[in-house]
A and B are shown apart, each in its own frame.
Chain A
Amino acid sequence: MAQTKTRKKISKDNLTAIAFLLPSFLLILVFVYGFIGWTGYVSLSNYNTIVPDFSFAGLKNYIYLFNDFRFQADLRNTLFFTIFFIGLVIILGLGLSILIDQKLKGESFFRNVFLFPMALSFVVTGVVWQWLLNPSTGFNQFLSIFGIQPKWYTDTNILAGFEWGSIEFGLPVAILAVVIAAVWQMTGFSLAMYLAGLRGIPDELKEAARIDGASEFQVYRKVVLPMLLPITVSVIIIMAHISLKIFDLVYAMTGSGANFVTDVPGVYMFETTFRGNYYANGAAIAIIMLLLVAIFIVPYLWSNRKGGQ
């Protein structure tokens, strides 16, 4: 008797639990998955007009994009932006966190200095760095002492470029200016992650390695870095998805640039959809962005899902 009573109560509680979760779950189903489906549908239509036209266009918009000079430039820029951005955020975050973790005086001051840009908007960052990396002022006033005057985001050079498709493929120098601003803003993230990781490594472990005769460099290479690997994976995934969908920083700091040297898919999508009324093209760009992000995120979420059980 008592047994059935508890069971009944639990099942009633389970119903309440589902009622708690259901509104949010339905919202996500509609607003995330439903809307993505809708965007996919728009991307296959002829809706490149002010008046909606949902007639089926097949892959026309995607084919247009992959032959489009601007979109090819966007993919090139995103590739190089992502590589440099993630690389620098990891190297700086790891290096600075190891230094901060050395029990030096003033560690909380340093931590706060490297972390505060995380609290700012990409728009603020863009507005400020646009002036700092302006070719005729900012850092160039110091660099002129050494006789160098980089053109920063106004540079139209493509390093090691060669013809590929309709663009010159290579490193667009101008994108490095955007990388600097983005690294300034996001290094705090990897720094905080690595600091948490370093604090989690027991001192005995490092001590044991030292007793075995390992130099300080070897302690970090053989003991500490391998233990930080899962954090590095998380940082790469999270920075990659930020980098692939970046919009506000570029929009506020440089815009598309001459020859689209600083253009990214996020900016193209915004301008073509909301300034040009090319809804189907914009939707196609959005779907491509989503697929690029999904390549990183889906395996990550999937492996975490198993790990969480």
Chain B
Amino acid sequence: MVSLQISKIIKYFILIFFAVLFLTPVYVIIVTSLKPLDEVSLSSMWALPSSIDFSSYAEAYSKLAPNLMNSIYLVIPATLLSALLGAMNGYVLSKWKFKGSNTIFTIILFGMFIPYQSILIPMIQFLRTIDLYNTIPGLILVHVVYGLPITTLMFRNFYANIPDAMLESAKIDGANFLGIFRHIIMPLSITGFVVVAIWQFTNIWNEFLFAVTITTSDQQPVMVALQNLSGSQIVQWNVQMAGALLAALPTLLVYIFLGKYFVRGLLAGSVKG
């Protein structure tokens, strides 16, 4: 009994030690971003602020606000479009398999693992040609296309859990491909759409490489603006910390309120059904 107690204490000790370590950056962000300017010094990074001061947030927000809007204009259509296309593909690849459909799926899936550097130079030339370079719609196009593999994978795995018998009986009742999709699959897809949308929202919001190469200054999403903020020598680091929190807030809130679905997406995207 005693040894059981001791082992329990050791387990807690290890978990708490790592939990503190993992939360350290959060502490530093919050403490630093709430300090008045005259208390922000390298030597007192860990000290609590003597009074709470939101001026870093005001300054960070004034610098990041336009880019936050760009991110919102980007992430909503890109998420919806890539989820819809993923649902269509997943439906076909799980419920209407044909000869070679598994190969087609693998060909699509490979696209999610490539380093995007390997398509970036042609992509930019292409976007220039169709006049979408340095525009939000151009960035939406890119995220929809390169989001297809993961959304297809997620919906395919999701639909694999819907019993074939349901489709068979609908077919006997005379329902066709589209009818089954609209009246059986779609109503059962709500959880699937939530999981995929959260995953795509998080990824597109956080993405940096496409954002920094395809857009310039006033078209840039928030992560590029945050990077510029931190790269600039004249910006105080309390403002950088406030900016980091502002930029991270949408995905953090999604995680806090819908974390269950976020984890499901994480698992759905990594293990193939």
Q: A1 near B: Cβ within 8 Å?
A: no
Check if A131 sits within 8 Å of B252, measured CB to CB. no
Question: Looking at chain A's contact residues, is the secondary structure mostly helix, strand, loop, or mixed?
Answer: helix
Q: A55 near B: Cβ within 8 Å?
A: no
Interface residues in B114-165 by Cβ distance below 8 A to A read 114-123, 126, 145-146, 148-149, 152
Q: A227 near B: Cβ within 8 Å?
A: no
Check if A286 sits within 8 Å of B28, measured CB to CB. no
Binds A, one of B51-59, B72-80, B187-195, B243-251: B243-251
Q: A85 near B: Cβ within 8 Å?
A: no
A-chain residues with CB within 8 Å of residue B11 when the two chains form the complex: 99, 102, 104
A-chain residues with CB within 8 Å of residue B25 when the two chains form the complex: 125, 128-129, 132, 184
Q: A172 near B: Cβ within 8 Å?
A: no
Assembled-state Cα–Cα distance A136/B43 (Å)? 8
B-chain residues with CB within 8 Å of residue A229 when the two chains form the complex: none
B-chain residues with CB within 8 Å of residue A115 when the two chains form the complex: 255, 259, 263
A-chain residues with CB within 8 Å of residue B259 when the two chains form the complex: 112, 115
Q: A28 near B: Cβ within 8 Å?
A: yes
Q: Number of B interface residues, CB 8 Å?
A: 89
Assembled-state Cα–Cα distance A141/B43 (Å)? 8
Check if A117 sits within 8 Å of B22, measured CB to CB. yes
Check if B213 sits within 8 Å of A104, measured CB to CB. no
Assembled-state Cα–Cα distance A35/B28 (Å)? 43
Check if A286 sits within 8 Å of B115, measured CB to CB. yes
Q: Closest residue to A114 on the B side, CB-wise?
A: B22
Check if B240 sits within 8 Å of A123, measured CB to CB. no
Check if A113 sits within 8 Å of B19, measured CB to CB. yes
Q: A81 near B: Cβ within 8 Å?
A: no
CB distance from A54 to the nearest CB of B (A): 11
Question: Could you mark each residue 234-258 of chain B with 1 if its beta carbon is under 8 Å from any beta carbon of chain A, else 0?
Answer: 0001001101100110011011100
Q: Closest residue to B255 on the A side, CB-wise?
A: A119
B-chain residues with CB within 8 Å of residue A121 when the two chains form the complex: 205-208, 223, 247-248, 251
Q: A127-B226, A127-B244 are in contact. Are A96 and B206 (CB under 8 A)?
A: no
Question: Could you mark each residue 99-128 of chain A with 1 if its beta carbon is under 8 Å from any beta carbon of chain B, else 0?
Answer: 110101000011011111111111111111
| Chain A to chain B contacts (Cβ below 8 Å), 23 pairs | A9-B176, A13-B176, A20-B177, A21-B92, A24-B148, A24-B152, A28-B149, A32-B110, A39-B121, A119-B252, A119-B254, A123-B208, A124-B226, A125-B25, A126-B230, A132-B24, A137-B43, A245-B116, A248-B223, A252-B227, A279-B121, A287-B118, A308-B273
> Which A residues are closer than 8 A to B by beta carbons?
9, 12-14, 16-18, 20-21, 23-25, 27-29, 31-36, 38-39, 42, 92, 95-96, 99-100, 102, 104, 109-110, 112-132, 134, 136-138, 141, 184, 189, 192-193, 196, 231, 234, 238, 241, 244-245, 247-248, 251-252, 265-266, 269-270, 273-274, 279, 282-283, 285-287, 289-290, 293, 297-298, 301-302, 304-305, 307-309
Known: A18-B92, A123-B247. 17 other contacts (CB 8 A): A17-B92, A20-B177, A31-B145, A104-B15, A109-B19, A119-B248, A121-B247, A121-B248, A123-B206, A252-B230, A266-B115, A273-B121, A274-B213, A289-B117, A293-B115, A301-B109, A308-B105
Closest 8 CB pairs of A and B: A121-B206, A245-B115, A119-B255, A35-B119, A248-B208, A13-B177, A286-B117, A38-B122
> Which B residues are closer than 8 A to A by beta carbons?
8, 11-12, 14-15, 18-19, 22-25, 28-29, 32, 42-43, 45-46, 85, 88-89, 91-93, 96, 98, 102-111, 113-123, 126, 145-146, 148-149, 152, 176-178, 202, 205-209, 212-213, 223, 226-227, 230, 237, 240-241, 243-244, 247-248, 251-252, 254-256, 259, 262-263, 266-267, 270-273
